[in-house]
């Protein structure tokens, strides 16, 4: 594999398209964004992910120009954005409600921004045709927004915001109004369009699956702060905090005390339970409180005691059957619950474990992530 | 269908009779051939013909139309602007006071409004005429426009205007290219409402009218004091029709646009 990987954030030479420098946004007493500094690079598909009220929408509205930072600066291609009003920014936004103009046809909606630039007529027509083709809506050009379906409206909104070929496209929960099936298809379509047009996308979403699917990097936000901004794989496999580990996917957090041992640490987490071991490059004092985060799919569940260092005995409390997978909630003697997940490769009737069964849980030294807090 | 009971039928008849009997009698007698208002002497459109010969009435009608068109247009602009500020600017200190002050003329006795305007015009030394009636009518019809328009603006999606800004519009362009076309039905019905209000106003107009600017309601009122004439019946019938057409079209415009929208949305299957 000699293909170059798209990772401008690891390249010290790369110049970021957007730079947040110590940006704080307050609404009265409320701090929506708390002193954030980060970069977004050209051609990135950057996702802002977090629960509602975490500040992700404020972040996006500041990029669009609808809100101004209280402190700090936002640079776009090296230029300070603060004095530039929304209608003069090379930034377009796709609104959560789509905000299609109901009195204009699909064609006129897409042409709206181009007409404001006083482009020649044939140039506008050509660009609109190109956009209609991109979102596969050629047949619906003359319809009004209320005469097309929700999924089609979503594509009109996308075409309209891309028509002016912005340097940066902002997407505010773009798939929120679509049903689950359509949503999945549209996610791949979005990625496809992003790659075709080479536009930098910033997407705001509260749906972690969506963020993981579409984004090159995901920023997990909480309380006006970016907790971690990294690739989906790193966010999932190498979370840097208990919050991120817990927010993304399913996880079991075991709190214990660390003691240095070899390449990692031994963890004592409860009276009468064996000592666990996890490899980690992080620095912990001997006896310091630590958290071991372990994903359910990395925990093996067996009837007999396995021959590994990390092995715990418990009884099955609950089974969540998801069709392709089953998640077992196993209770240890000290009441700690650990989740283990197995693929249902066999039919249900031949499943090996059931409620109240006594089982062994085990995982490798590298399966868990050791976190401070 | 619910069954029509005797009780329902009677209440309906009584209610409508109470509301419309006087007008129906007036309309019937406007087609009376005789000169006496209260004695039926056969059908004729004679009084409509005579009305068209009466220069004083025609002048008054022309003044009324001028005043109605001018005042309702000014009231629509001002009322829409007031509605925009009240709905859009969110919470600012004294917002409740402001909206209360805009809606106060709705409940203010007309005599008081008329009197205060009269005092103002005298104080400013403005000669009373068409201009003063226009100003007076604008004052009281503006709040009706603002009520109608702001009720539409409340359900207006603010992100539409943000989208217009985002796509390169100035604030002004965003209003004229996006907001105004969308709220147009409400603005038009506000105008029609203001127009009909101005058309049939007597009290405020009589305070603010000058000798050369008699409006139709004032003219009718003063001629009745000299005795009833079938001509007045004919004139009133015409006014009733104009007002009826105005009010009905105002409500039809707003109803049709919302019905059409619903039908289209159903057709789109969403």
Residue spans of the domains in chain B: they are 55-267
Across the interface, do A93 and B168 touch by the CB < 8 Å criterion? no
Per CB-CB distance under 8 Å, the chain B contacts of A176 are: none
Per CB-CB distance under 8 Å, the chain A contacts of B177 are: 112
**Angstrom distance (rounded) from CA A113 to CA A90:** 12
Most A-contacting residue of B90, B167, B179, B267 (CB-CB within 10 A), to test interface? B167
Q: Given the structure tokens 């204009």, which residue do they identify?
A: A104
Domain of residue A114, CATH code: 3.40.50.300
Fold for the domain defined by B55-267:
MetI-like fold (1.10.3720)
Mean pLDDT for the stretch of residues B193-218: 88
Residues A256 and A240 grouped into a single domain: no
Min CA distance, A30 vs chain B (Å)?
A: 17
Three-point CA angle A166, A175, A6, nearest 5°? 55
Which residue of A65, A99, A150 is in closest CB contact with B159?
A99
Judge whether residue A89 has pLDDT over 60.
Answer: yes
Residues A262 and A194 grouped into a single domain: no
Q: How confident is the model at residue A14 (pLDDT cuts 50, 70, 90)?
A: confident
Which residue of B167, B181, B261 is in closest CB contact with A92?
B167
Residues A79 and A103 grouped into a single domain: yes
A1 within a domain of the structure (yes/no): no
Across the interface, do B169 and A87 touch by the CB < 8 Å criterion? yes
Mean pLDDT for the stretch of residues A41-65: 92
Are B219 and B129 in contact by the 8 Å Cβ rule? The answer is: no
**Angstrom distance (rounded) from CA A285 to CA A299:** 27
ipTM surpassing 0.85, yes or no?
no
Residues A141 and A196 grouped into a single domain: yes
Three-point CA angle B101, B106, B108, nearest 5°? 85
Across the interface, do A87 and B167 touch by the CB < 8 Å criterion? yes
Would you put residue A65 in left (φ > 0), alpha (ψ -120 to 50) or beta? Answer: left
Per-residue confidence (pLDDT) for residue A120, from 0 to 100: 93
Min CA distance, B261 vs chain A (Å)?
A: 7
Per-residue confidence (pLDDT) for residue B265, from 0 to 100: 64
Structure tokens at B99: 């909206």
Tally the domains of chain A: 2
Min CA distance, B140 vs chain A (Å)?
A: 32
Domain boundary residue among A191, A215, A245? Answer: A245
Q: How confident is the model at residue B270 (pLDDT cuts 50, 70, 90)?
A: very low
Are A199 and A171 in contact by the 8 Å Cβ rule? The answer is: no
HSE-CB for A172 with a 13 A CA cutoff? 24
Q: How confident is the model at residue A139 (pLDDT cuts 50, 70, 90)?
A: very high
Q: Domain limits at A213?
A: 8-245
Residues A283 and A354 grouped into a single domain: yes
**Angstrom distance (rounded) from CA A372 to CA B94:** 51
A117 touches B at CB < 8 Å: yes
Most A-contacting residue of B152, B157, B163 (CB-CB within 10 A), to test interface? B163
pLDDT in tens, B2-59: 677 889 889 989 998 998 888 888 888 888 888 777 778 888 888 888 888 888 888 8
**Angstrom distance (rounded) from CA A51 to CA A53:** 6
A64 within a domain of the structure (yes/no): yes
**Angstrom distance (rounded) from CA A58 to CA A31:** 11
Judge whether residue B61 has pLDDT over 50.
Answer: yes
Which residue of B157, B169, B177 is in closest CB contact with A99?
B157
Closest by CA position to A58, among listed A99, A89, A21, A26? A26
Domain boundary residue among A245, A276, A294? Answer: A245
Per-residue confidence (pLDDT) for residue B106, from 0 to 100: 82
A276 within a domain of the structure (yes/no): yes
Residues A175 and A276 grouped into a single domain: no
Residues A227 and A347 grouped into a single domain: no
* A277: β partners: A266
pLDDT in tens, A315-355: 999 998 888 888 999 999 888 999 999 888 877 666 678 88
Min CA distance, A162 vs chain B (Å)?
A: 10
Judge whether residue B248 has pLDDT over 90.
Answer: no
Domain boundary residue among A245, A265, A282? Answer: A245
Per CB-CB distance under 8 Å, the chain A contacts of B183 are: none
Mean pLDDT of chain B: 86
**Angstrom distance (rounded) from CA B143 to CA B83:** 9
Most B-contacting residue of A85, A86, A160 (CB-CB within 10 A), to test interface? A86
Residues A144 and A273 grouped into a single domain: no
HSE-CB for B32 with a 13 A CA cutoff? 22
Min CA distance, B248 vs chain A (Å)?
A: 24
| Model pTM score | 0.80
- Per DSSP, helices labelled H in chain A are 56-64, 106-116, 121-134, 150-162, 180-197, 208-214, 232-237, 242-247
Mean pLDDT of chain A: 90
């Amino acid at each position: 594999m000699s293909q170059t990987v798209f990772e401008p954030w690891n390249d010290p030479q790369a110049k970021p398209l957007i730079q947040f420098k110590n940006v704080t946004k307050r609404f009265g007493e409320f701090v929506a964004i708390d002193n954030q500094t980060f970069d977004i690079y050209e051609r990135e598909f950057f996702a802002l992910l977090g629960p509602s009220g975490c500040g992700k929408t404020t972040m996006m509205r500041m990029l669009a120009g609808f809100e101004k930072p209280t402190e700090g600066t936002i640079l776009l291609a090296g230029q300070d954005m603060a004095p530039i009003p929304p209608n003069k920014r090379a930034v377009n936004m796709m609104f959560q409600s789509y905000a299609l103009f109901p009195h204009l046809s699909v064609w006129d909606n897409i042409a709206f921004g181009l007409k404001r630039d006083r482009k020649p007529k044939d140039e506008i027509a050509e660009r609109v045709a190109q956009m209609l083709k991109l979102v596969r809506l050629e047949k619906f050009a003359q319809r009004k927004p209320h005469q097309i379906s929700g999924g089609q409206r979503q594509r009109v909104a996308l075409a309209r915001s891309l028509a002016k070929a912005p340097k940066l496209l902002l997407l505010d929960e773009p798939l929120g109004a679509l049903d689950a099936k359509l949503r999945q298809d549209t996610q791949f379509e979005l990625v496809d369009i992003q790659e075709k047009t080479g536009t930098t996308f910033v997407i705001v979403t509260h749906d972690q699956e969506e963020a993981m699917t579409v984004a090159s990097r995901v920023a997990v936000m909480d309380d006006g702060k970016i907790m971690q901004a990294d690739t989906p794989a790193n966010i999932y496999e190498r979370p840097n905090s208990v919050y991120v580990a817990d927010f993304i996917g399913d996880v079991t957090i075991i709190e214990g005390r660390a003691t240095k041992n070899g390449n990692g640490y031994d963890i004592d987490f409860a009276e009468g339970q064996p000592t666990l071991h996890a490899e980690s490059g992080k620095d912990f004092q001997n006896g310091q409180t630590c958290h071991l985060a372990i994903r359910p799919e990395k925990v093996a569940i067996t009837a007999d005691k396995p021959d590994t260092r990390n092995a715990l005995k418990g009884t099955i409390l609950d089974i969540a059957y998801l069709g392709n997978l089953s998640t077992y909630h196993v209770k240890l003697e000290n009441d700690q619950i650990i989740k283990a997940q197995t693929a249902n490769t066999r039919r249900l009737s031949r499943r090996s474990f059931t409620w109240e069964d006594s089982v062994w849980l085990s995982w490798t030294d590298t399966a868990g992530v050791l976190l401070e807090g | 269908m619910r069954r029509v009971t005797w009780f329902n039928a009677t209440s309906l008849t009584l209610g409508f009779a109470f509301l419309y009997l006087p007008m129906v009698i007036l309309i019937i007698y406007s087609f009376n051939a005789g000169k006496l208002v209260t004695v039926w002497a056969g059908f004729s459109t004679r009084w409509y013909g005579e009305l068209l010969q009466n220069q004083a009435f025609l002048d008054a009608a022309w003044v009324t139309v001028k005043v109605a068109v001018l005042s309702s247009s000014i009231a629509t602009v001002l009322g829409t602007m007031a509605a925009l500020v009240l709905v859009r600017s969110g919470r600012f200190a004294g917002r409740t006071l402001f909206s209360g002050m805009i809606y106060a003329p709705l409940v203010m006795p007309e005599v008081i409004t008329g009197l205060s305007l009269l005092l103002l015009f005298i104080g400013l030394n403005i000669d009373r005429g068409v201009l003063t009636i226009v100003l007076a009518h604008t004052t009281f019809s503006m709040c009706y426009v603002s009520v109608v328009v702001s009720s539409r603006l409340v359900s207006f999606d603010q992100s539409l205007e943000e989208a217009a800004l985002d796509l390169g519009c100035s604030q002004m362009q965003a209003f004229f290219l996006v907001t105004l076309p969308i709220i147009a039905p409400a603005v038009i019905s506000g105008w029609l409402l203001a127009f009909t209000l101005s058309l049939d106003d007597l009290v405020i107009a009589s305070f603010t009218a000058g000798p050369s600017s008699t409006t139709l309601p004032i003219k009718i009122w003063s001629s009745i004091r000299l005795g009833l004439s079938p001509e007045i019946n004919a004139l009133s019938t015409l006014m009733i029709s104009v007002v009826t057409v105005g009010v009905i079209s105002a409500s039809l415009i707003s109803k049709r646009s919302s019905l059409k929208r619903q039908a289209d949305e159903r057709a789109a299957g969403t």
